[in-house]
Amino acid sequence: MRNLFVLMFMLAATVFTEAFMVVVVATPSLNDQGMSTIPVAAGLGVALAIPVAWLAARAISQASKPV
């Protein structure tokens, strides 16, 4: 399950980080402070990806076990 978690984490972290980065770049008030808000957005994306990847890996692992 660890390898599956790492794969899911890489995918989820990329998706969440890029989604938060788009929000920062598209919002004028956040874009003006980009040097401080972009690292925060990236950190939030990575932090949010950990439980999502864990839940996805666990669900896939349980679904693929033989009955």
30-42 core/surface letters (b: 16 or more CB in 10 A; e: else): beeeeeebbeebb
Cα 61 to chain centroid distance, Å, stands at: 20
21-39: pLDDT as tens digits? 999 999 999 889 889 999 9
Q: Which two tokens stand for residue 25?
A: 């770049």
| pLDDT value of position 36 | 92
Binned at pLDDT 50, 70 and 90, residue 1 comes out as: confident
